[in-house]
Amino acid sequence: MKSNSVIIFCTHGTYGRDDDLYGALLASNAALAKGMKVTLVLVEDGVLTAKKNQNPSKIGLINNLDELQDFIDLGGRLIVEDLSLEERGLSKNEILEKSETMSLRDISKLVEEHDVSLTF
């Protein structure tokens, strides 16, 4: 085995481009289930993924919070970029408690701690 850890960047928001995000979450959870260390980083519109109390049932889509909860339960690390959050008028108490907010500078250091990276 050459790679045992992956950092996955999600740059798109929920539901409007749900396939990208859903695909990222499915890949993340599969990697966790196969024993990899996985860090999911939400940046730009991706930070909307971590917003509490989402309810897309009226537009007939699956709630991404279900997959995100699985990610956390499986031991994944969830990072939300602080500036992207602020730019979208969101505060830390509006996003999932088990997420960590972090600056881009610190996120860039995190990349060094992983074998491979993916961007969705």
DSSP lists the bridge partners of residue 119 as: 9
Residue 113 to residue 41: CA distance in whole angstroms: 13
Read out DSSP for 45-84? GGGGGGBTT--GGGGT---HHHHHHHHHHTT-EEEEEHHH
Q: Choose the stretch contacting other proteins; rule: CB under 8 A; options: 23-31, 59-67, 70-78, 82-90.
A: 23-31
The answer to whether residue 61 forms part of the interface with other proteins (CB under 8 A) is no
Site map 24..43 versus other proteins, x via CB under 8 A:
--xx--xx-xx-x-------
The answer to whether residue 71 forms part of the interface with other proteins (CB under 8 A) is no
Here the tokens at position 6 are 């992956």
Cα torsion for 41, 63, 22, 76, to the nearest 10°?
A: 40
Q: Choose the stretch contacting other proteins; rule: CB under 8 A; options: 6-14, 65-73, 78-86, 102-110.
A: 6-14
Residue 1 to residue 17: CA distance in whole angstroms: 33
**In this chain, which of 15, 20, 70, 77 binds other proteins, going by CB under 8 A?**
20
The answer to whether residue 74 forms part of the interface with other proteins (CB under 8 A) is no
- The footprint of other proteins (CB under 8 A) covers 1-4, 6, 9, 11, 19-20, 23, 26-27, 30-31, 33-34, 36, 116-120
